[in-house]
Amino acid sequence: MALQDQPAYIIKMRAKPGTGDKLFELATIGMEKSGASDRFIILREDEDPDVLWNIEVFRSDEAIDS
């Protein structure tokens, strides 16, 4: 299945000042435990390490609701 055929969410998260590392750790653990998505990518902004972007890709629309 091509990526363009898969639904996805893009979520911006902001940690409290100085806690970006902890948020990154918790977000990664949560996504690994979830198992709902086909794949995920967590990114951090260069200029503000307390800002994270989570891209979550699902196999189908039905998989989002599971």
CATH code for the domain in which residue 53 is found: 3.30.70.100
Contact yes or no for 44/59 (Cβ under 8 A): no
Residue identified by tokens 């918790």 is 26
Query: pTM for the complete prediction?
Result: 0.77
φ and ψ at 8, to 5 degrees?
-150, 155
Quick: pLDDT tens for 3-39.
667 888 999 999 999 999 999 999 999 888 877 778 8
Is the confidence at residue 49, as pLDDT, over 90?
yes
Split into its structural domains, the chain has a count of: 1
State which residues form the domain around 57: 3-65
